[in-house]
């Protein structure tokens, strides 16, 4: 919760400084409206591992320390080793990790620079899509965030590629991801990693109620659309 509030405050301050009061008020109203109701389209991507190899996407000009966190105890170990976990919502993280979620964190100089959540079941509901997704034995990659001062270093593609390597080594057969059509950099990353688009989903939210539905899937996979609830 605290992390989300900090991100919202940062975005609001940036809009106010760069776009002025009018844009700030308009976007604030839009944000408040979206807290009540949203109806959004997402592209659904999938990558079957098989014999897939992943290139080493080394971050630019910095030494990145990627840690795979699989349990609440792993958080305690990192804290004891001196890693700064203050940017993480530790209450939610412990809950997700206790339900078999996995957290991939990139640290730079001991501080969290990027985080990426992975789930393999609907109990790890780090976002509304995760709690409705049809996993079919695979893993859902989502809820990724890079802190502003560490952007443009290639941390996202590095995190995604390393996550796929770890999942493949664990025997997970495939990875899936959902991306909003407007987030072009993320689409470029999943394409570069070899993901293919297998469908288009719609997420509807009204207050605490949510519904996820795959409205169409590629002819290559199923030949026609179906609902995934």
Query: pLDDT band at 25, cuts 50/70/90?
Result: low
The domain 2-217 having CATH identifier 3.40.630.30: the answer here is yes
Q: What is the mean pLDDT of residues 59-84?
A: 95
Question: Is the pLDDT reported for residue 221 higher than 90?
Answer: no
Gap between the Cα atoms of 27 and 128, Å rounded: 22
Average pLDDT, the chain: 85
Q: Which residues pair with 46 in a beta bridge?
A: 176, 196
Q: What percent of the chain has pLDDT over 90?
A: 65
How confident is the model at residue 223, as a pLDDT? 38
pTM for the model stands at 0.79
How confident is the model at residue 151, as a pLDDT? 94
For 178-194, the pLDDT digits (tens) are 999 999 999 999 999 99
How confident is the model at residue 219, as a pLDDT? 41
- Please state the domain extents for the chain: 2-217
CA nearest neighbour of 104 among 153, 56, 139: 139
Q: Which residues of 65-96 are buried (b: 16+ CB within 10 A; e: fewer)?
A: ebeebeeeebbeebeeeebebebbeeebbbbb
């Amino acid at each position: 919760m605290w992390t989300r509030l900090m991100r919202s405050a940062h975005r609001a301050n940036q809009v106010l400084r760069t776009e002025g009061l009018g844009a700030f008020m308009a976007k604030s109203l839009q944000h408040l409206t979206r807290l009540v109701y949203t109806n959004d389209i997402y592209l659904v991507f999938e990558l079957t591992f098989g014999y897939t190899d992943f290139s080493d996407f080394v971050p630019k000009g910095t030494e990145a320390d990627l840690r795979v966190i699989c349990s609440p105890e792993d958080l305690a170990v990192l804290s004891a080793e001196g890693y700064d976990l203050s940017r993480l919502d530790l209450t939610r993280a412990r809950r997700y990790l206790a339900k078999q979620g996995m957290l991939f964190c990139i640290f730079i100089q001991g501080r969290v620079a990027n985080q990426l959540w992975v789930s393999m079941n609907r109990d790890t509901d780090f976002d509304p899509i995760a709690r409705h997704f049809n996993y079919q034995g695979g893993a859902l990659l989502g809820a990724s965030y890079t802190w502003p001062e560490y952007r443009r270093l290639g941390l996202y593609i590095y995190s995604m590629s390393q996550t796929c390597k770890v999942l493949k080594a664990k025997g997970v057969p495939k990875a899936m991801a959902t991306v909003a059509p407007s987030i072009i950099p993320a689409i470029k990353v999943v394409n570069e990693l070899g993901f293919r688009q297998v469908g288009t989903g719609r997420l509807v939210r009204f207050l605490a109620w949510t519904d996820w539905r795959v409205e169409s899937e590629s002819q290559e996979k199923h030949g026609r659309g179906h609902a995934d609830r």
